[in-house]
C-alpha cells in the first residue's frame, strides 16, 4: 500500500486491562510525536482521562461513524474487540491494526510487546492488508424484517432458558439441507470455524475458502454432521414446530430473541470486507500451531 496515514483511531477493550495505564499514554504520545492525530470513542472520555494528567490537544473523541472515516484504527484488546469494530466496517472503512492484550488472539495480528516496529512501517504506508469477508443475518416474520446485523465469526441459534432439545430446518436456495433436532445450530464463517464451531465438532476452514459451515450442537442423531457449503448461497433457518425461548447470537456479542414464525436468513455481504494489517512474521498455519497446538508433533 502507498497511503500515508495521518489520522488514527484507538479502540479499547471494554474491560479495563492493567497495562492500559502505561500503554495508552505511551502509544498516544508516540503517535503525536510522529505528527498524527489520535481519536478515541466519545463514550470513553472519562476512562481515557484517568490515563493522562492532561489529555493532549491532538486527541479528540468521536462516535463510531467517525471512526470509519479515519486512516487507521488500532484495537487494543483481543479478538472480541477486533470483531466488534469489524462488524461495523463499510466499503471505505480504514484498515485495522490489531494489538492483542489478551491470551489467545487468534485473529489479532500483533503482540502487545512487539508492535511498534510494524506500526511505524504502517504509518508510512508500508503495509499489506488481508480482507475478511462480512456476512449478514436477517430475522423476518410474515415477510417483515425485524432484525438485521453483520457478523464475522458465527451465528448461533439455541435455547435461552433451561437446556432443552428443539427442532429446526435448514434450507439453501429453497432446497432442504436437513432437519435437525438438538441443542441448536452454529452457522460459521471460515475465520469463525476455529471458535464455537470447532468446540462443537466442526471442521477448521482456511480463511481463503469461500464457504460457510453448519455445525449442529449436540444433535439427537448420528447422521447430522457438520456441513460445508459455498458462501454464494443464502441459508434459511425455519422452525417447523412452534418453539419458545429461542435466541440468535451474533459473534457472541449481540443477541436477538426469535419468536414464533420467524425465519433466519444468512448470506454474504457483497463487496464488503473488514481490512486487517497483516503481520509479515505470521501465517495462518503458524497461528494454528501456536494458538491451538494444531499439527504439532512430539520431538523424536
Is 79 tagged catalytic?
yes
63, 71, 79, 173: which one is catalytic? 79
Q: Is the dihedral of CA 105, 191, 155, 163 positive or negative?
A: negative
* Cα(201)–Cα(215) distance, integer angstroms: 7
Cβ atoms 82, 98 nearer than 8 A? yes
* Cα(125)–Cα(6) distance, integer angstroms: 10
Q: Would you list the DSSP string of the chain?
A: --PPP-EEEEEE-SS--TTHHHHHHHHHHHHHHTT-EEEEEGGGHHHHHTT-SS--TTEEEE-HHHHTTSSEEEEEE-HHHHHHHHTT--TTPPPEEEEE-SS--SS--EETTS-HHHHHHHHTT---EEEEEEEEEEEEETTEEEEEEEESSEEEEEESSS---EEEEEEETTEEEEEEEESEEEEE-TGGGGTHHHHTTPPP--TTS-EEEEEEES-SSTT---EEEETTS-EEEE-SS---SEEEEETTTEEEEE-TTEEEEEEEEEEEEEEEE--TT--HHHHHHHHH-TT-----
List, in sequence order, every residue forming a beta bridge with 188; answer none if it has no partner: 154, 213
Catalytic residue positions, numbered: 79
Amino acid at each position: 500500500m502507498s497511503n500515508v496515514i495521518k489520522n488514527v483511531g484507538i479502540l479499547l477493550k471494554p474491560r479495563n486491562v492493567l497495562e492500559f495505564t502505561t500503554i495508552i499514554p505511551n502509544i498516544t504520545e508516540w503517535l503525536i510525536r510522529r505528527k498524527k492525530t489520535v481519536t478515541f470513542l466519545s463514550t470513553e472520555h472519562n476512562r481515557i482521562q484517568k490515563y493522562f494528567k492532561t489529555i493532549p490537544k491532538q486527541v479528540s473523541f468521536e462516535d463510531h461513524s467517525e471512526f470509519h472515516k479515519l486512516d487507521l484504527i488500532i484495537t487494543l484488546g483481543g479478538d472480541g474487540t477486533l470483531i466488534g469494530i469489524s462488524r461495523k466496517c463499510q466499503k471505505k472503512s480504514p484498515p485495522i491494526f490489531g494489538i492483542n492484550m489478551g491470551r489467545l488472539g487468534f485473529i489479532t495480528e500483533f503482540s502487545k510487546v512487539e508492535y511498534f516496529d510494524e506500526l511505524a512501517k504502517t504509518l508510512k504506508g508500508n503495509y499489506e492488508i488481508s480482507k475478511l469477508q462480512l456476512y449478514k443475518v436477517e430475522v423476518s416474520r410474515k415477510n417483515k424484517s425485524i432484525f438485521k446485523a453483520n457478523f464475522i465469526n458465527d451465528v448461533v441459534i439455541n435455547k435461552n432458558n433451561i437446556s432443552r432439545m428443539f427442532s429446526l430446518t435448514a434450507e439453501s436456495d429453497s432446497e432442504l439441507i436437513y432437519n435437525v433436532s438438538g441443542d441448536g445450530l452454529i452457522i460459521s464463517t471460515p475465520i469463525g470455524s476455529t471458535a464455537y464451531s470447532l468446540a462443537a465438532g466442526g471442521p477448521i476452514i482456511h480463511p481463503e475458502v469461500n464457504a460457510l459451515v453448519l455445525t449442529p450442537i449436540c444433535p439427537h442423531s448420528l447422521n447430522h454432521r457438520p456441513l460445508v457449503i459455498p458462501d454464494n448461497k443464502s441459508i434459511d433457518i425455519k422452525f417447523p414446530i412452534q418453539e419458545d425461548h429461542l435466541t440468535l447470537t451474533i459473534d457472541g456479542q449481540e443477541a436477538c430473541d426469535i419468536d414464533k414464525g420467524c425465519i433466519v436468513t444468512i448470506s454474504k455481504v457483497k463487496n464488503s470486507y473488514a481490512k486487517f494489517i497483516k503481520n509479515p512474521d505470521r501465517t495462518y498455519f503458524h497461528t494454528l500451531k501456536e494458538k491451538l497446538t494444531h499439527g504439532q508433533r512430539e520431538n523424536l
